[in-house]
Structure 1
């Protein structure tokens, strides 16, 4: 029991110092790793090597993948490709079903682009569709928010799922993508049905303050990017890595359906996540135009490095914390107590949901939960490749539950949409809860069939 109490105290300390004291999650996780090492009486000579080996190994395994994925997202955002994708989807879907349109746009854009940035980019489009169709701002805000949120926590190359996959030793990202896309779609659909309840429900919007940023129209936003990329080149940086990674996963099936020898070597090489994302980055660089495109490329790469650095450090720090737990007697205690309960996928989901709700950051919830759960996979009956993959998705589902005042995304959506805070709690927060629970229900169903 004392081993479990130490774990509870460490997790509570991480939540407190990150949520209340606003201390960096990097320091919180590393501090918890160091304190936990002594609390669990790991030999002093092994403490530093345990922490640094896990920290460095994680950066080596996942660092370039997160970095290149972030670079693609930043270029898509800054080049106007996200707007070009949205324009194309509107032409296909029309404005007859505004919530469906916003959900699909958010679902696609957030695969490489952070959900916060995606909402900022697409908010003018959302407002234009809202005015054109005469529906409630509240409905389209919920639909766009949850569409973005679904793939943000469930589908690589978004950094959160990538980090969790690395922590849990999931190497087959093609399988993770193949399962994550339909689960995210189902979760987004459930949230969209909730949003439909508010299609014609009026809401009193918060007045725009003078100090708020200028409220651009969608036409002004499009004009600010100059000539937008065509739809096909805009989608390529997303589609190419996903197709290559999935093709490599298919090629590795024992029956070798895509051939052997040189074809197999080529497909598996270009389908390696790092190489696939490099190719996606090359496709994204082709979106930059004009005489200053080299300078723009360098600027956006610098920005991507700044954006990805905290994620990389949080991921590596979470790995260090997990390594300490794995080296402690705690694993034997938890293993013996959990193995007979048969709760499997519920553990990563509930832990992630508790951490997300308590401290607000989906990324921190994903990384911390995966660090906690990784040593327990065998005890939970999730030690196989499929089990670990479903565990990553369960953590992603938990990282949606729920978005409220301690989550920056909650404020991005409510403020840009001018939704009163009390109304946001009753709608935005509830929608993320529905989305996360729906995602977990789908994952649990997959577990019954595939495990």
Structure 2
């Protein structure tokens, strides 16, 4: 029990130090990671090594993506392309349901694209839509984040659901996993969007540290800003830096499917390379360069890259520190304690949900929670009454529902969402963390209802 209490104290420390003491989240997370090492009695020589490896590990995964995505976002904003994107989406989908629009976009994009990368890529579009529709950027951020998070957690080819399905013997039934996952994730995305609507009309000045872009600055009128850019880019020019990388990542995910639909030759190698997020975003940056105007385009490009790097720096540091905190928790006895304590509960589908939720909350990674819980649960399926094809599919869904409950300070996605949106830490807990709790619980209720009908 003391293992859980330490985690709760560490989370309280992060929130209190950033809100009341005004300590920068980077330092608060680093301090929490080191304190966790001492509190969980990690060998002293391993504490700083774990902090460093956790910091570097998460940035190795998402760092270049954040930097490239931020640079593309700066170019989209300063060229007027973000305005074109907002007006194009509004013409297509209307202005009545702004959060629904972003939730649908996130839901579709995150089927092949990691939610972290998807949020970085779509951040400029989200800001432009919030400014154009005159609604809260917090609400729009949560709607986008929860839409992305839903399919990321439930729908292959994301690695977490695929690994969980493999551990439970469903390699040949991925189609069924995808079909059920699409249904469950749609309900989870809807639950997240409805929570986001709670912030739709709230005053962002009380919720944000600063405006996330000049489009959302208090003293800037959208129409005035539009006029400042003169001739705006076409819809193709505006969307290409976003949708070309998304398309490439989608193709990369398809060619990497277990069945290898395009074989394993040259085409496979080329598309696999181009489908990696870093390669795809470099190509997106190339398309963004076509938006530069005027004579001295080289200097413009240099200036906008520099501005993007400056904007990305605090996000990178905070995300890395969050990775360090999560890495420290992973090497403590907390995960084993929670798994052993909860796996003995005879509560059917709710057992894998609770184990996965406990692991996710404790160590931060959805993928780790899905892989670990599925490996732990696989031998118990018979005793849980879930040793059928549909029982295994619903177990994957229950593990996924737990794996999204909840996203907080030890999860890199929490910091990507909060820092790109410039949310206060307290706001991010009220908006993003609670949204993921609601998503997980609602999804689990739906899975339980499906089990009553299908099992």
TM-score (norm 2): 0.65
Contact 1:14-1:25 within 8 A present in 2 as well: yes
Check if 1:104 corresponds to 2:111. no
Inter-partner Cα distance in structure 1 for 2:243 and 2:237: 10
Alignment partner, residue 125 of structure 1: 132
C-alpha distance 240-446 of structure 1, shift in aligned 2 (>3 A): farther
Contact 1:10-1:32 within 8 A present in 2 as well: yes
Following TM superposition, by how much is the alpha carbon of 1:265 offset from its aligned partner in structure 2, in angstroms?
A: 0.5
Following TM superposition, by how much is the alpha carbon of 1:266 offset from its aligned partner in structure 2, in angstroms?
A: 0.8
Following TM superposition, by how much is the alpha carbon of 1:53 offset from its aligned partner in structure 2, in angstroms?
A: 2.0
Inter-partner Cα distance in structure 1 for 2:251 and 2:68: 19
Inter-partner Cα distance in structure 1 for 2:433 and 2:331: 35
Inter-partner Cα distance in structure 1 for 2:439 and 2:401: 14
Following TM superposition, by how much is the alpha carbon of 1:92 offset from its aligned partner in structure 2, in angstroms?
A: 3.0
Deviations 1:146-165 (A, max 9, x none): 34432245539xxxxxxxx9
Alignment partner, residue 43 of structure 1: 43
Check if 1:150 corresponds to 2:143. yes
Inter-partner Cα distance in structure 2 for 1:337 and 1:432: 24
Check if 1:316 corresponds to 2:317. no
C-alpha distance 303-438 of structure 1, shift in aligned 2 (>3 A): same
Alignment map for 1:228-243 (pairs within 5 Å): 228-243=232-247
2:190 to 165, 186, 198: 186
Structure 2, unaligned stretches of length 5 or more?
107-117, 150-157, 164-176, 206-215, 379-395
Alignment partner, residue 309 of structure 2: 305
Check if 1:11 corresponds to 2:11. yes
C-alpha distance 284-244 of structure 1, shift in aligned 2 (>3 A): same
Contact 1:187-1:439 within 8 A present in 2 as well: no
Deviations 1:380-410 (A, max 9, x none): 44889x778766655469989xx99xx9659
Alignment partner, residue 276 of structure 2: 272
Check if 1:71 corresponds to 2:68. no
1:254 to 248, 253, 258: 258
C-alpha distance 256-39 of structure 1, shift in aligned 2 (>3 A): same
Inter-partner Cα distance in structure 2 for 1:245 and 1:126: 30
Inter-partner Cα distance in structure 1 for 2:129 and 2:197: 20
Inter-partner Cα distance in structure 2 for 1:218 and 1:301: 24
Contact 2:196-2:431 within 8 A present in 1 as well: no
CA-based RMSD = 4.8
Inter-partner Cα distance in structure 2 for 1:192 and 1:314: 24
Following TM superposition, by how much is the alpha carbon of 1:340 offset from its aligned partner in structure 2, in angstroms?
A: 3.7
Check if 1:371 corresponds to 2:352. no
Instruction: Tell me how many residue pairs correspond in the alignment.
Output: 371
Following TM superposition, by how much is the alpha carbon of 1:312 offset from its aligned partner in structure 2, in angstroms?
A: 1.8
Matched residue SS, 1:256: coil
Inter-partner Cα distance in structure 1 for 2:433 and 2:37: 36
Q: Which moved more, 1:319-328 or 1:373-382?
A: 373-382
Alignment partner, residue 388 of structure 2: none
Check if 1:91 corresponds to 2:66. no
Deviations 1:38-63 (A, max 9, x none): 22222222222222222222222321
Contact 2:370-2:400 within 8 A present in 1 as well: no
Following TM superposition, by how much is the alpha carbon of 1:21 offset from its aligned partner in structure 2, in angstroms?
A: 0.9
C-alpha distance 371-193 of structure 1, shift in aligned 2 (>3 A): closer
Structure 1, unaligned stretches of length 5 or more?
128-140, 157-164, 207-211, 353-367, 414-428
Alignment partner, residue 287 of structure 1: 291
Contact 1:322-1:374 within 8 A present in 2 as well: no
Matched residue SS, 1:99: coil
C-alpha distance 276-329 of structure 1, shift in aligned 2 (>3 A): same
Inter-partner Cα distance in structure 1 for 2:44 and 2:402: 32
Alignment partner, residue 329 of structure 2: 325
C-alpha distance 59-113 of structure 1, shift in aligned 2 (>3 A): closer
Q: Which moved more, 1:10-19 or 1:436-445?
A: 436-445
Contact 2:103-2:193 within 8 A present in 1 as well: no
TM-score (norm 1): 0.65
Contact 1:288-1:297 within 8 A present in 2 as well: yes
